[in-house]
Amino acid sequence: MRTPIIAGNWKMNTSVNEAVELVKRMLQVDRVKGVKKIICPPFVSLVPVKNLIENSSIELGAQNMYFEEKGAMTGEISPIMLNELCRYVILGHSERRQYFAETDEMINKKVKTAIRFNLVPILCVGETLKEKETEKTRDVVSRQVSRGLEGINATDSLVIAYEPIWAIGTGKSASVAEATNTISLIRATIEKMWSREKAETISILYGGSTNKQNITEFVRQDEIDGALVGGASLKADEFVDMVKQTAEIKNKA
Ligand code: 13P
Protein backbone atom coordinates (compact mmCIF):
# COMPACT_ATOMS: atom_id res chain seq x y z
CA MET A 1 0.00 0.00 0.00
CA ARG A 2 1.56 3.27 -1.15
CA THR A 3 1.03 6.39 0.94
CA PRO A 4 -0.12 9.29 -1.24
CA ILE A 5 2.20 12.27 -1.56
CA ILE A 6 1.64 15.94 -2.22
CA ALA A 7 5.01 17.59 -2.77
CA GLY A 8 5.55 21.29 -3.37
CA ASN A 9 8.43 22.39 -5.57
CA TRP A 10 8.91 26.08 -4.89
CA LYS A 11 11.55 26.37 -7.64
CA MET A 12 13.49 29.67 -7.62
CA ASN A 13 10.84 31.51 -5.63
CA THR A 14 10.64 32.97 -2.13
CA SER A 15 13.27 34.88 -0.18
CA VAL A 16 14.20 33.31 3.15
CA ASN A 17 11.69 35.53 4.95
CA GLU A 18 8.97 34.71 2.44
CA ALA A 19 9.71 30.99 2.76
CA VAL A 20 9.37 31.20 6.53
CA GLU A 21 6.06 33.06 6.26
CA LEU A 22 4.75 30.61 3.67
CA VAL A 23 5.59 27.53 5.69
CA LYS A 24 4.04 29.01 8.83
CA ARG A 25 0.78 29.29 6.93
CA MET A 26 1.11 25.69 5.77
CA LEU A 27 1.59 24.20 9.22
CA GLN A 28 -2.11 23.49 9.47
CA VAL A 29 -1.65 20.51 7.11
CA ASP A 30 0.09 18.82 10.00
CA ARG A 31 -3.28 17.52 11.12
CA VAL A 32 -4.11 15.84 7.81
CA LYS A 33 -3.47 12.14 8.06
CA GLY A 34 -2.74 9.55 5.39
CA VAL A 35 -0.84 11.83 2.99
CA LYS A 36 2.87 12.63 2.95
CA LYS A 37 3.35 16.38 2.78
CA ILE A 38 6.69 17.37 1.33
CA ILE A 39 7.95 20.88 0.65
CA CYS A 40 11.02 21.68 -1.40
CA PRO A 41 12.11 25.28 -0.84
CA PRO A 42 15.29 26.81 -2.28
CA PHE A 43 18.55 25.64 -0.64
CA VAL A 44 19.03 28.82 1.41
CA SER A 45 15.68 28.30 3.11
CA LEU A 46 16.15 24.63 4.04
CA VAL A 47 17.48 25.37 7.52
CA PRO A 48 14.89 27.94 8.65
CA VAL A 49 12.09 25.84 7.15
CA LYS A 50 13.44 22.69 8.81
CA ASN A 51 13.37 24.45 12.18
CA LEU A 52 9.75 25.43 11.69
CA ILE A 53 8.46 22.01 10.62
CA GLU A 54 10.56 20.00 13.07
CA ASN A 55 7.67 18.88 15.24
CA SER A 56 5.20 18.49 12.42
CA SER A 57 4.46 15.76 9.89
CA ILE A 58 5.63 17.98 7.01
CA GLU A 59 8.78 16.66 5.40
CA LEU A 60 11.52 18.51 3.60
CA GLY A 61 13.17 18.08 0.23
CA ALA A 62 15.81 19.88 -1.82
CA GLN A 63 15.43 20.74 -5.49
CA ASN A 64 18.75 19.48 -6.78
CA MET A 65 22.06 18.00 -5.71
CA TYR A 66 25.51 17.33 -7.13
CA PHE A 67 26.65 13.73 -7.50
CA GLU A 68 29.89 13.94 -5.57
CA GLU A 69 30.25 14.18 -1.84
CA LYS A 70 32.70 17.07 -1.60
CA GLY A 71 35.49 18.90 -3.33
CA ALA A 72 36.29 21.71 -5.72
CA MET A 73 32.83 22.23 -7.21
CA THR A 74 32.13 25.90 -6.63
CA GLY A 75 28.50 26.62 -6.00
CA GLU A 76 27.31 23.01 -5.83
CA ILE A 77 25.47 21.29 -2.98
CA SER A 78 26.39 17.75 -1.96
CA PRO A 79 24.42 14.84 -0.50
CA ILE A 80 26.36 15.17 2.76
CA MET A 81 25.10 18.72 3.15
CA LEU A 82 21.56 17.67 2.39
CA ASN A 83 21.13 14.52 4.40
CA GLU A 84 21.48 16.41 7.66
CA LEU A 85 18.63 18.63 6.61
CA CYS A 86 16.12 16.78 4.49
CA ARG A 87 14.86 13.38 3.43
CA TYR A 88 13.99 14.01 -0.23
CA VAL A 89 15.72 15.51 -3.23
CA ILE A 90 14.17 16.34 -6.60
CA LEU A 91 16.45 15.09 -9.38
CA GLY A 92 16.27 15.42 -13.14
CA HIS A 93 13.59 18.09 -13.18
CA SER A 94 12.94 19.13 -16.77
CA GLU A 95 14.10 22.66 -15.97
CA ARG A 96 17.49 21.20 -14.97
CA ARG A 97 17.54 19.09 -18.12
CA GLN A 98 16.54 22.01 -20.36
CA TYR A 99 18.36 25.00 -18.89
CA PHE A 100 21.35 23.35 -17.22
CA ALA A 101 22.02 20.60 -19.73
CA GLU A 102 21.58 17.72 -17.31
CA THR A 103 21.74 14.40 -19.10
CA ASP A 104 20.28 11.02 -18.18
CA GLU A 105 23.81 9.94 -17.32
CA MET A 106 24.33 12.79 -14.84
CA ILE A 107 20.90 12.25 -13.38
CA ASN A 108 21.64 8.55 -12.96
CA LYS A 109 24.80 9.44 -10.99
CA LYS A 110 22.77 11.81 -8.83
CA VAL A 111 20.11 9.16 -8.13
CA LYS A 112 22.78 6.63 -7.15
CA THR A 113 24.52 9.12 -4.88
CA ALA A 114 21.30 10.27 -3.26
CA ILE A 115 20.36 6.69 -2.38
CA ARG A 116 23.86 6.02 -1.04
CA PHE A 117 23.46 8.98 1.32
CA ASN A 118 19.97 7.97 2.49
CA LEU A 119 18.13 10.62 0.55
CA VAL A 120 14.97 9.66 -1.31
CA PRO A 121 15.22 10.87 -4.91
CA ILE A 122 12.13 12.29 -6.57
CA LEU A 123 13.15 11.46 -10.13
CA CYS A 124 11.37 13.61 -12.71
CA VAL A 125 10.66 12.46 -16.25
CA GLY A 126 8.52 13.83 -19.05
CA GLU A 127 8.36 14.63 -22.73
CA THR A 128 8.45 17.94 -24.63
CA LEU A 129 5.51 19.17 -26.68
CA LYS A 130 7.31 18.20 -29.87
CA GLU A 131 7.90 14.68 -28.57
CA LYS A 132 4.24 14.41 -27.59
CA GLU A 133 3.09 15.62 -31.00
CA THR A 134 5.32 13.14 -32.78
CA GLU A 135 4.08 10.33 -30.55
CA LYS A 136 7.39 9.76 -28.84
CA THR A 137 6.11 10.06 -25.26
CA ARG A 138 6.37 6.36 -24.45
CA ASP A 139 9.88 6.03 -25.88
CA VAL A 140 11.15 9.17 -24.18
CA VAL A 141 9.68 8.45 -20.78
CA SER A 142 10.64 4.78 -20.63
CA ARG A 143 14.18 5.72 -21.69
CA GLN A 144 14.44 8.44 -19.03
CA VAL A 145 13.27 5.96 -16.38
CA SER A 146 15.53 3.10 -17.42
CA ARG A 147 18.58 5.34 -17.87
CA GLY A 148 17.87 7.26 -14.69
CA LEU A 149 17.73 4.00 -12.73
CA GLU A 150 20.47 2.12 -14.59
CA GLY A 151 22.67 0.04 -12.28
CA ILE A 152 20.46 0.69 -9.28
CA ASN A 153 19.25 -2.27 -7.25
CA ALA A 154 15.60 -2.50 -6.41
CA THR A 155 14.80 -0.04 -3.63
CA ASP A 156 11.77 1.39 -1.89
CA SER A 157 13.67 4.63 -1.48
CA LEU A 158 12.45 6.29 -4.63
CA VAL A 159 9.64 8.48 -5.89
CA ILE A 160 9.03 9.19 -9.56
CA ALA A 161 7.24 12.24 -10.92
CA TYR A 162 5.80 12.23 -14.42
CA GLU A 163 5.88 15.85 -15.51
CA PRO A 164 5.15 16.46 -19.19
CA ILE A 165 7.12 19.59 -20.05
CA TRP A 166 4.25 21.12 -22.02
CA ALA A 167 2.07 20.97 -18.92
CA ILE A 168 4.51 22.68 -16.54
CA GLY A 169 3.54 26.22 -15.65
CA THR A 170 1.25 26.49 -18.66
CA GLY A 171 -2.11 26.11 -16.98
CA LYS A 172 -2.74 23.20 -19.36
CA SER A 173 -2.44 19.96 -17.42
CA ALA A 174 -2.28 16.54 -19.02
CA SER A 175 -5.58 14.73 -19.29
CA VAL A 176 -6.24 12.12 -16.66
CA ALA A 177 -5.93 9.44 -19.36
CA GLU A 178 -2.55 10.76 -20.52
CA ALA A 179 -1.22 10.92 -16.96
CA THR A 180 -2.57 7.47 -16.08
CA ASN A 181 -1.26 5.80 -19.22
CA THR A 182 2.22 7.21 -18.87
CA ILE A 183 2.38 6.43 -15.18
CA SER A 184 1.37 2.82 -15.94
CA LEU A 185 4.16 2.71 -18.49
CA ILE A 186 6.63 3.98 -15.87
CA ARG A 187 5.53 1.27 -13.47
CA ALA A 188 5.87 -1.37 -16.21
CA THR A 189 9.37 -0.09 -16.99
CA ILE A 190 10.39 -0.45 -13.35
CA GLU A 191 8.80 -3.90 -13.24
CA LYS A 192 10.97 -4.96 -16.17
CA MET A 193 14.12 -3.71 -14.44
CA TRP A 194 13.29 -4.94 -10.93
CA SER A 195 10.16 -6.97 -10.26
CA ARG A 196 6.43 -6.57 -10.13
CA GLU A 197 6.50 -6.57 -6.36
CA LYS A 198 9.08 -3.79 -6.20
CA ALA A 199 7.39 -1.73 -8.90
CA GLU A 200 4.21 -1.82 -6.84
CA THR A 201 5.98 -0.15 -3.92
CA ILE A 202 7.20 2.92 -5.85
CA SER A 203 5.10 6.07 -5.55
CA ILE A 204 4.57 7.74 -8.92
CA LEU A 205 3.26 11.30 -8.99
CA TYR A 206 1.83 13.49 -11.70
CA GLY A 207 3.09 17.07 -12.07
CA GLY A 208 2.15 19.91 -14.42
CA SER A 209 -0.42 22.63 -13.75
CA THR A 210 -2.09 20.85 -10.87
CA ASN A 211 -4.18 22.99 -8.56
CA LYS A 212 -7.06 22.77 -6.12
CA GLN A 213 -9.55 22.60 -8.99
CA ASN A 214 -8.08 19.60 -10.78
CA ILE A 215 -6.19 17.61 -8.12
CA THR A 216 -9.08 15.24 -7.40
CA GLU A 217 -9.28 14.08 -11.02
CA PHE A 218 -5.72 12.85 -10.78
CA VAL A 219 -5.63 11.37 -7.32
CA ARG A 220 -8.87 9.52 -7.92
CA GLN A 221 -6.83 7.20 -10.15
CA ASP A 222 -5.28 4.24 -8.33
CA GLU A 223 -2.20 4.53 -10.53
CA ILE A 224 -1.51 8.15 -9.53
CA ASP A 225 -0.06 8.41 -6.04
CA GLY A 226 -0.22 12.18 -5.73
CA ALA A 227 1.30 15.28 -7.27
CA LEU A 228 4.46 17.30 -7.57
CA VAL A 229 3.07 20.81 -7.46
CA GLY A 230 4.81 23.95 -8.70
CA GLY A 231 2.96 27.28 -8.81
CA ALA A 232 0.04 26.20 -6.63
CA SER A 233 2.44 25.17 -3.85
CA LEU A 234 3.43 28.82 -3.41
CA LYS A 235 -0.02 29.60 -2.09
CA ALA A 236 -0.44 28.20 1.41
CA ASP A 237 -4.22 27.86 1.26
CA GLU A 238 -4.14 26.15 -2.10
CA PHE A 239 -1.43 23.67 -1.06
CA VAL A 240 -3.30 22.84 2.15
CA ASP A 241 -6.50 22.35 0.19
CA MET A 242 -4.79 19.99 -2.26
CA VAL A 243 -3.43 17.91 0.62
CA LYS A 244 -6.87 17.73 2.23
CA GLN A 245 -8.63 16.73 -0.99
CA THR A 246 -6.02 14.04 -1.63
CA ALA A 247 -6.42 12.65 1.89
CA GLU A 248 -10.16 12.52 1.49
CA ILE A 249 -10.06 10.64 -1.80
CA LYS A 250 -7.19 8.26 -1.12
CA ASN A 251 -8.28 7.41 2.41
CA LYS A 252 -11.74 6.55 1.21
CA ALA A 253 -10.45 4.04 -1.27
P1 13P B 1 3.45 23.72 -12.13
O2 13P B 1 2.60 23.04 -11.10
O3 13P B 1 3.68 25.18 -11.82
O4 13P B 1 2.99 23.47 -13.52
O5 13P B 1 4.91 23.05 -12.02
C6 13P B 1 5.04 21.68 -11.99
C7 13P B 1 6.43 21.34 -11.67
O8 13P B 1 7.35 21.54 -12.48
C9 13P B 1 6.74 20.78 -10.35
O10 13P B 1 8.02 20.28 -10.28
Tell me how many degrees the CA angle 155-191-201 measures, rounded to the nearest 5: 45
Contact criterion met (CB below 8 Å) for 67 and 57: no
Q: pTM higher than 0.95 for the full model?
A: yes
22 — pLDDT class (breaks 50, 70, 90)? very high
* Ligand 1 centroid, distance to 167 Cα (angstroms): 8
152 — pLDDT class (breaks 50, 70, 90)? very high
* Ligand 1 centroid, distance to 72 Cα (angstroms): 32
CATH of the domain at 188: 3.20.20.70
Contact criterion met (CB below 8 Å) for 91 and 63: no
Contact criterion met (CB below 8 Å) for 227 and 219: yes
Q: Which atom of ligand 1 is nearest to the CA of 207?
A: 6
- For 195-252, what is each residue's pLDDT tens digit? 999 999 999 999 999 999 999 999 999 999 999 999 999 999 999 999 999 999 999 8
* Amino acid in the structure at residue 21: E
Distance, in Å, from the CA atom of 162 to the CA atom of 142, rounded to the nearest integer, reads 11
> What is the maximal distance between C-alpha atoms in the chain?
51
Q: Identify the pLDDT of residue 27.
A: 97
Please indicate whether residue 210, judged by its CB atom, sits closer than 6 Å to ligand 1. yes
**Three-state SS at 183:** helix
Contact criterion met (CB below 8 Å) for 194 and 151: no
Q: Identify the pLDDT of residue 252.
A: 83
**What mean pLDDT value characterizes the chain?**
97
* Ligand 1 centroid, distance to 120 Cα (angstroms): 19
Number of structural domains found in the chain: 1
Nearest in space to 32 (alpha carbons), one of 253, 235, 248, 221: 248
Report CA torsion sign: 23, 33, 162, 156: positive
253 — pLDDT class (breaks 50, 70, 90)? low
Q: Identify the pLDDT of residue 57.
A: 97
Please indicate whether residue 163, judged by its CB atom, sits closer than 6 Å to ligand 1. yes
Q: Which atom of ligand 1 is nearest to the CA of 94?
A: 8
Distance, in Å, from the CA atom of 136 to the CA atom of 116, rounded to the nearest integer, reads 33
- Which of 38, 209, 229 to mutate to test ligand 1, by most ligand atoms within 8 A of the CB atom? 229
What residues make up the domain containing 108?
5-250
**Three-state SS at 212:** coil
Please indicate whether residue 79, judged by its CB atom, sits closer than 6 Å to ligand 1. no
Q: What is the mean pLDDT of the segment spanning 94-119?
A: 98
